[in-house]
């Protein structure tokens, strides 16, 4: 068994345990393997271990990996989870299946206009700055209904829910409180947009709290693929 396979099995057990602890069905929580900065050979080990959903942060790196792996593994699902500038939207629209980091209408419109007709609509999550950090991407909760309504009207996008990267918290109780605020925002969104079925919340350090709060998609990198090089630090999460 490869290390990647062992790691994946352990994460799946942790997800199942966290779900059972709060009375949720583990099948309602999907695992996104965050493969940024990691080589294709490790992604292929994860594929061999049954992993199908992968997240990438950097547009060009993601597009290179997708171009290589899509022909061989057509059933993989590729999620863009990094900060998105408008000059990179065309690449994301052309190659990815999901984008988690939409936080302004201008970006949403470009993704919509640039999504090729030959592929299904792009699945979109609105990024919420739930910890209200000045330096972070994402909209405030109060702005969510307005942006959601505008995105829902774009025919080449499918509004699937919300995503957040909460600030690190010292205790489980604090993590849970922030994750529950995010879940409340998600439930308000669902009341108006019942098609929104995805709460992308939880990373290696706050996965348990995110699942307790209702996350449906946890994004795990380090615990699957090992630590990333310091030179390739995550721009979303410099802590």
Ligand X SMILES: *Cc1c(COP(=O)(O)O)cnc(C)c1O
**Cα–Cα distance between 221 and 180 in angstroms, integer?**
23
Tokens of 42: 């490790």
**Closest to ligand X by CB, 142 or 227:** 227
Binding test (CB under 6 A) with ligand X, winner from 33, 151, 213, 220: 220
**Closest to ligand X by CB, 39 or 146:** 39
Contact range with ligand X by CB under 6 A, out of 104-112, 138-146, 174-182, 220-228: 220-228
Tokens of 64: 């290179």
The residue behind tokens 């109060």 is 142
Q: State the minimum distance, in angstroms, from the CB of residue 209 to ligand X.
A: 14
Tokens of 143: 């702005």
Q: Does 204 bind ligand X (CB under 6 A)?
A: yes
Tokens of 124: 């979109």
Q: Does 131 bind ligand X (CB under 6 A)?
A: no
Q: Does 181 bind ligand X (CB under 6 A)?
A: no
**Cα–Cα distance between 156 and 76 in angstroms, integer?**
20
Q: CB neighbours of 59 closer than 8 A, spacing ≥ 6? A: 80, 82, 84, 88, 91, 92
**Cα–Cα distance between 174 and 195 in angstroms, integer?**
30
**Cα–Cα distance between 194 and 208 in angstroms, integer?**
26
Q: State the minimum distance, in angstroms, from the CB of residue 111 to ligand X.
A: 17
**Closest to ligand X by CB, 24 or 36:** 36
Q: State the minimum distance, in angstroms, from the CB of residue 91 to ligand X.
A: 18
Q: Does 237 bind ligand X (CB under 6 A)?
A: yes
**Closest to ligand X by CB, 47 or 165:** 165
Binding test (CB under 6 A) with ligand X, winner from 19, 34, 66, 130: 34
Q: State the minimum distance, in angstroms, from the CB of residue 235 to ligand X.
A: 8
Q: State the minimum distance, in angstroms, from the CB of residue 210 to ligand X.
A: 11
**Cβ atoms of residues 206 and 179 within 8 Å:** yes
What torsion do the CA atoms of 218, 220, 43, 60 make, to the nearest 10 degrees?
Answer: 90
Where on the chain is the footprint of ligand X (CB under 6 A)? 34, 36, 57, 81, 165, 203-204, 219-223, 234, 236-237
């Amino acid at each position: 068994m490869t290390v990647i396979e062992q790691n994946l099995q352990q994460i799946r057990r942790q997800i199942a345990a966290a779900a059972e602890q709060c009375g949720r069905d583990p099948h309602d929580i999907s695992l996104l393997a965050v493969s940024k900065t990691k080589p294709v050979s490790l992604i292929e080990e994860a594929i061999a271990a049954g992993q199908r959903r992968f997240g990438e942060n950097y547009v060009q790196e993601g597009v290179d990996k997708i171009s290589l792996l899509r022909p061989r593994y057509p059933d993989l699902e590729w999620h863009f989870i990094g900060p998105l500038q408008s000059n990179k939207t065309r690449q994301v629209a052309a190659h990815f299946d999901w984008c988690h980091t939409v936080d302004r209408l201008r970006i949403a419109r470009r993704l919509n206009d640039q999504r090729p007709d030959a592929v299904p609509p792009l699945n979109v999550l609105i990024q919420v700055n739930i910890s209200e950090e000045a330096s972070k991407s994402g909209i405030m909760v109060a702005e969510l209904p307005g942006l959601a309504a505008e995105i829902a009207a774009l025919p080449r996008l499918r509004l699937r829910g919300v995503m957040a990267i909460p600030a690190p918290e010292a205790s489980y109780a604090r993590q849970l409180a922030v994750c529950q605020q995010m879940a409340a925002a998600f439930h308000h969104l669902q009341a108006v947009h019942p098609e929104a079925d995805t709460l992308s919340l939880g990373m290696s350090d706050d996965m348990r709290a995110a699942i307790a709060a209702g996350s449906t998609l946890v994004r795990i990198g380090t615990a699957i693929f090992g630590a990333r090089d310091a030179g390739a630090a995550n721009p979303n999460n410099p802590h």
